[in-house]
Amino acid sequence: MPKPQFHVIVCTNSRPPGHPRGSCAEKGSQEVLMQFFEELQQRNLFEKVLVTGSTCTGPCMLGPTVIVYPDGVWYQRVRREDVPTMVTEHLMQGKPVERLRLPDEVWG
């Protein structure tokens, strides 16, 4: 198996209902993760891109969060419908999807 060119991390963390921080899971991150797998399969990108779910990555209120390495690009409020564009533009063409980027100011 060749070393992947990209690692996509989808926060799939969940918390109990009513938790003040909420979670990416309650906002649909599992569907986002599944859509990434579907897109990779359809486009035969499994050797180029590794996709994994993760526990909390920090900015829960802006989830679901997705991170793409080695670029260090963070995405916010990702929906299942956004995934085909992310795969085409970022993972295939090398251009991050600006409208979904998590702004650096979040890290204050």
- Please say which residue, 32 or 45, places its beta carbon nearer to ligand FES: 32
- Please say which residue, 21 or 95, places its beta carbon nearer to ligand FES: 21
Q: Which residues, numbered 30-59, are part of the site for ligand FES (CB under 6 A)?
A: 56-59
Our finding on whether 68 is near ligand FES (CB under 6 A) is: no
What is the residue type of 54? Answer: S
3-state SS string for 24-36: CHHHCHHHHHHHH
For 3, residues 6+ apart whose C-beta sits below 8 A from its C-beta are none
Instruction: List contacts with ligand FES (CB under 6 A).
Output: 11, 13, 23-24, 56-60, 63, 65
